[in-house]
Amino acid sequence: MSLTRFSVSLDEDLVRQFDAKIDAEACPTRSKAVGDLIRASLVETEWSHGGEVAGAIVMVYDHHKPDLSRKLTAAQHDCHNVIISTQHVHLDHDNCLEIIAVRGTTKEIETLVKRLKSIKGLKHVSLAAGTTGRDLA
């Protein structure tokens, strides 16, 4: 992999804030931090263009809620083509954390997320939008 150098002119205060942020995150260099920001922007573009992407859906729920587990299973089976894997974690006696690894078009994944969010009894549902990595350097 060859590297390309380029210069950027920024407001001094903005650079100071950026340096403080990357120091707090233990990022080794500005170059690494800028590269990470560019990749994050490219992943957003992947999601907005509707191609194949990957990500994770995170849910928290009380497994004692009547019929909730059955509804979650039914939704996942109906969308099995985008689900790579699931992980179920018992947080305490009542609460469970479920992570669903997904891969498919943005429309397919967003359809699953909307379906899950429509199920009563879930305490939290969020999507961590990721990438397949194919188009990123």
Give the per-residue pLDDT at 14: 96
In a domain, 135, yes or no: no
Query: How far apart are alpha carbons 28 and 30 in whole angstroms?
Result: 7
Per-residue confidence band for 137, with pLDDT thresholds at 50, 70 and 90? confident
In a domain, 7, yes or no: no
* Apex 74 CA angle, 71 and 80, nearest 5: 140
Whether 135 has a pLDDT exceeding 90, the answer reads: no
Residue that the structure tokens 């992999």 belong to:
1
Give the per-residue pLDDT at 67: 95
Is residue 34 located within the same domain as residue 57? Answer: no
The whole model's pTM is what? 0.86
Is residue 18 located within the same domain as residue 69? Answer: no
Is residue 70 located within the same domain as residue 41? Answer: no
Is residue 72 located within the same domain as residue 119? Answer: yes
Count of domains for the chain: 2
Full residue range of the structural domain in which residue 41 is found:
12-48
Contact yes or no for 113/47 (Cβ under 8 A): no
Query: How far apart are alpha carbons 128 and 43 in whole angstroms?
Result: 11
Q: Report which DSSP code applies to 108.
A: H
Is residue 121 located within the same domain as residue 71? Answer: yes
